Structure 1
Amino acid sequence: MIPARRPLLLIVLLLFSFWTRGQDTLITKSGNKTGLNLGALPSVLFNSDLGFQYGALANLYQYGDGSLYPDYRWSLYGELARTTKGGGINQLNFDSKYLMPFGIRVTADLSYLTQQALDFYGFNGYQSRYNVFWETEDEEDYISRMFYRIERRLLRMEAAFQKPLGGSPWNVLAGYTFLNLEIGEVDIDALNKGKAADDVLPDTVSLYKLYMNWGLLPEVDQTGGRVSMFKAGVVYDTRDNEPNPMNGIWAEAVVATAPSFLMDRSGWTKLALIYRQYFSLKRNVFSLACRFGYQGTILGSAPWYMQSYMINSMTRSTTVDGLGGGRSLRGILRNRVVGDAVGYANLEFRWKVVRTYWLKQNFYIALSSFLDTGKVLKSIGVDRSKVPEEVTTQFFDTGDDNWHSSIGGGLHIAMNENFVFAVDYGRALDKRDGLSGVYIGLNWLF
């Protein structure tokens, strides 16, 4: 399903048109930025079920005397948005490599996200069947548009520190993350308020409810929980420009552990390995970006709601769910590829079409094309003994998972290198992964 984000997409197209009309006055020079610089955008969209979303996002950069440009002394990102049906985004994110002694980089995130219809398709990729007709109106087998949805309220507090080792590109990482997740069935009554009679959502069973009835979600984890997670690792970074590198390597190995004495359940440990490399094909114009990743449980048993939580060295996006969706496999249903261990890859060709210095700001417009793919490498153990035999084949496949792949393209408009407005469109190559998706937000994928 394609998110209904036409109002904001229209704004993007108007901006693109405005900049295009101004190309006869382009100035080829560029200027180093100094002092404070603010980038801001409205957060506007409409979804027939979730209602009208309104709000804004902004990123404040401190460039100091400009000697570090395009790097910044610190960055503060904030987003505040609400939907008329009760959902919301509340986020603050801070990043700096220069405020702490010994060259220590600090990143911190405080977020509270109320997601009224978060995707839930079961576990282990293609081993969980996806039936699009169950969520498609006017189909004979239609159940509900919310059949593959859950409600989640997520509080996230996170801090991470990276210290360089001498003058080398190696950094050591340490961090802490606290999560409080409240999960339940979609509030159908809330979503039905104000709907016409022929558009009302039926109050019926969901996949999440069936999984609880069949004992596929342990009782202690069914409705979420609290997670205290410590991170440690190493990071290797030779990028020439963090927001959109033309050359370099960015690789990391991160171990995240959640000890049992800080939770109401047994503990667990996950390992995340991510390798990114950037190749310049034409200086400041064409580049090829590659990302290869692995994430898996190496000790204990992680709760089901943490199997889709993607771990990395620093949180820069609002949501970190995957695999599937705008931050991992574009065009594939969000959280479609969930397992005890997953692997993924992204290949992206980037072309900076226009560069200009306008209104005392440095801008560029870029186009991209990409291939995303991912796969469950180790399945989550699922006891199907309580699943009625007559419906087993409707929900489960006994075969191994395969690669979930998508292709697509994007438009990026950047101000002063760091504030990058992004629109990506991805199309799944297998109908079992959905059809396509449009993703509007900030920053390149990696």
Structure 2
Amino acid sequence: MKTSLLRTWLTASLGLCAAVASAQQVDSLSFIRSKRMSDADLAKKREGLFVTGLPDLSSDPVTGFGVGVKTNIIWNGTRDNPLFAYTPYLTRLRANAAYFTTNAREFTLSLDVPYYKGTRWRYRVDFKAQQNPANLYFGSSEATLGRLRLPSNPDVTFATYAQYDAARKTLRPGQAGEAAEVTDALSNRFRETEFMLNLKADYALGKGRWRVMGGYEIQHLSYDTFQGTKAEATRNGEETTAPNGTSLLQRDAQQGRIFGLDGGWVSILQTALIHDTRDFEPDPTRGVYFEAANEFSSPVIGSQFRFNKLFFQGRAYRKLPVGPRTVLAGRVGVGNIFGKEAPFFEFQDQWSPDGSINALGGRQSLRGYRANRFLARSLAFANAELRIRLADVKLGKQNFGLGVAPFADAGTVRDRWQDLGLRDVRFSYGAGARIAWNLSTMLYADYGVSKEDRLFYFGIGQNF
């Protein structure tokens, strides 16, 4: 009898302890309650380990048509895991490789572990090896807001990129240091070769809406321009070839307008303060995201360059009572680079813990303009999208959401952050198609329009 009572007491005690421990575990996750997924999205989320791998077919006006493979190895855990409804995944390993018709190639690896073992820590590791001979350069000051100009004759301007592209292929007499007769077909292009390793960790504060992040990045960069390279040319309307003239990037380096053309080692300390209430990071339906991000580079930490980059970004998402899933998404970004001799390549993007943003032009900022069309020390831009879900389709164990996304973009650049304002703002607009594959993988196709160009992009990932 005593043994039976003791067994009953032990069973009840252990059960109570387990219940208390479970309750404590759930309570310890209160810092991410605001990030709970919608019931509709939660019902579609898969359990366990799965792979989303697909051929990477992409198109960009600068890098050309690309083929490759994109894979995500995702571990979601089970539905009884307290984290299941609050995180996009428990662990994701992403491996991408791509080759483009412009001879650009890229390989990336990315490991992301949000809320590691139910704690407030998130860890990320990224590696990239890439070479791109199709980078564009139009200058690195607010003068790029003007009309397109030939490097060899800046007094001649063009209203559209098509006119400019045709004119720079026209043969002209060579100047000092050039062949007798040259073309400018490649004078706005340069080749970049990069190897990069980045380590980041962030910690959730309070109820989890605020996070602080620290990271370290090491890069090796090298650059080539194409003066003297045989390139396309036209003589009296007929196609031919000729040596390329002096590149605009080389001219600016020789005149002391830019620094860093010789490349080298870049060592960077990264810090950020983040406010994030998005319900599902890959494709949010509600919430806001704000960050103040900073990159510091100096010979003190082993860098060959000295600069400091500060970037502020805000995003907002609101689900509208129209259709099964209609989301109004908006973003505003403002950045500045400090340092008298900051290298030109740092003007090309703004670093964000949520993914760097190419500036200013291209798919990530102004979709109606070519990448890097507007560059200067300071920039500001805004994007708006109406993401409309038209249908949800299930094929076997795969879930697909089909939608469209009309959008509008705006942005400008300045030589001093104090001069940022609404003067000389450039606009683009357009529409896109979206396919959500198992929620976490987004496929896009966007067509952007500006007064200068008409551009088409497709690939993987939401713009923001």
TM category, shorter:
0.7 to 0.9
Q: CA deviation at 1:360?
A: 1.3
Residue in 1 that maps onto 2:96: 79
Q: CA deviation at 1:37?
A: 2.0
Q: Share of identical aligned residues, percent? A: 24
| Paired letter, 1:410 | G
Q: CA deviation at 1:404?
A: 1.6
| Paired letter, 1:290 | G
Verify: 1:96 aligned to 2:113, yes or no: yes
Residue in 1 that maps onto 2:177: none
| Paired letter, 2:135 | L
Residue in 2 that maps onto 1:332: 369
| Paired letter, 1:214 | Q
Verify: 1:287 aligned to 2:327, yes or no: yes
Residue in 2 that maps onto 1:341: 378
Q: Deviations over 1:175-208 (max 9, x none)?
A: 112222111113875988xxxx946464323222
Residue in 1 that maps onto 2:296: 257
Residue in 1 that maps onto 2:4: none
Distance in 1, Cα, partners of 2:449 & 2:59: 21
| Matching of residues 238-257 of structure 1 within 5 Å | 238-257=277-296
What secondary structure is seen at the aligned counterpart in 2 of 1:72? coil
| Paired letter, 2:218 | F
Distance in 2, Cα, partners of 1:107 & 1:410: 30
Distance in 2, Cα, partners of 1:211 & 1:369: 38
Checking the alignment, whether the CA contact within 8 Å between 1:119 and 1:150 is kept in structure 2 is: yes
Q: Give ranges in structure 2 of 5+ residues lacking alignment.
A: 1-40, 150-160, 173-182, 233-237
| Paired letter, 2:334 | Y
Checking the alignment, whether the CA contact within 8 Å between 1:125 and 1:336 is kept in structure 2 is: no
Residue in 2 that maps onto 1:130: 148
Distance in 1, Cα, partners of 2:209 & 2:62: 48
Deviates more, 1:37-46 or 1:306-315: 37-46
Distance in 1, Cα, partners of 2:76 & 2:118: 18
What secondary structure is seen at the aligned counterpart in 2 of 1:297? strand
Q: CA deviation at 1:331?
A: 1.7
Q: CA deviation at 1:92?
A: 0.8
Q: Give ranges in structure 1 of 5+ residues lacking alignment.
A: 1-27, 381-399
Distance in 2, Cα, partners of 1:191 & 1:80: 28
Residue in 2 that maps onto 1:278: 317
Checking the alignment, whether the CA contact within 8 Å between 2:404 and 2:434 is kept in structure 1 is: yes
Distance in 2, Cα, partners of 1:191 & 1:56: 31
| Paired letter, 1:349 | L
For residue 219 of structure 2, the aligned residue among 170, 179, 182 is 179
Residue in 1 that maps onto 2:360: 323
Distance in 1, Cα, partners of 2:282 & 2:111: 15
Q: CA deviation at 1:276?
A: 0.5
Q: CA deviation at 1:313?
A: 1.5
For residue 449 of structure 2, the aligned residue among 410, 421, 427 is 427
Q: CA deviation at 1:248?
A: 0.6
| Paired letter, 1:304 | F
Distance in 2, Cα, partners of 1:139 & 1:73: 52
Distance in 1, Cα, partners of 2:330 & 2:206: 27
Q: Deviations over 1:143-173 (max 9, x none)?
A: 4432211111111211221111132311111
Residue in 2 that maps onto 1:387: none
Checking the alignment, whether the CA contact within 8 Å between 1:110 and 1:156 is kept in structure 2 is: yes
Q: CA deviation at 1:225?
A: 2.5
| Paired letter, 1:423 | A
Q: Deviations over 1:356-384 (max 9, x none)?
A: 3321122101100111111113359xxxx
| Paired letter, 2:97 | L
Distance in 1, Cα, partners of 2:60 & 2:230: 14
Distance in 2, Cα, partners of 1:121 & 1:274: 25
| Paired letter, 1:294 | V
Residue in 1 that maps onto 2:258: 217
For residue 354 of structure 2, the aligned residue among 300, 314, 317 is 314
Deviates more, 1:105-114 or 1:90-99: 90-99
Checking the alignment, whether the CA contact within 8 Å between 1:258 and 1:269 is kept in structure 2 is: yes
Q: CA deviation at 1:98?
A: 3.7
What secondary structure is seen at the aligned counterpart in 2 of 1:245? coil
Distance in 1, Cα, partners of 2:328 & 2:409: 14
Distance in 1, Cα, partners of 2:293 & 2:42: 41
* Alignment size in residue pairs: 387
Verify: 1:355 aligned to 2:392, yes or no: yes
Residue in 2 that maps onto 1:438: 456
Distance 1:228 1:77, change over 3 A: same
* Structure with bigger gyration radius: 2
Distance in 1, Cα, partners of 2:105 & 2:344: 24
Distance 1:233 1:54, change over 3 A: closer
Instruction: Indicate the structure whose relative CO is greater, using CA pairs within 8 Å and at least 6 residues apart.
Output: 1
Distance in 2, Cα, partners of 1:199 & 1:47: 26
Distance 1:100 1:340, change over 3 A: farther
Distance 1:308 1:401, change over 3 A: farther
Distance 1:138 1:240, change over 3 A: closer
Verify: 1:376 aligned to 2:417, yes or no: no
What secondary structure is seen at the aligned counterpart in 2 of 1:444? coil
Distance in 2, Cα, partners of 1:48 & 1:350: 24
Residue in 1 that maps onto 2:46: 33
Distance in 2, Cα, partners of 1:189 & 1:361: 49
Distance 1:164 1:439, change over 3 A: same
What secondary structure is seen at the aligned counterpart in 1 of 2:256? coil
| Paired letter, 1:209 | Q
Verify: 1:106 aligned to 2:123, yes or no: yes
For residue 409 of structure 1, the aligned residue among 414, 431, 440 is 431
What secondary structure is seen at the aligned counterpart in 1 of 2:253? helix
- Output the TM-score relative to the length of structure 1: 0.78
For residue 229 of structure 1, the aligned residue among 268, 271, 286 is 268
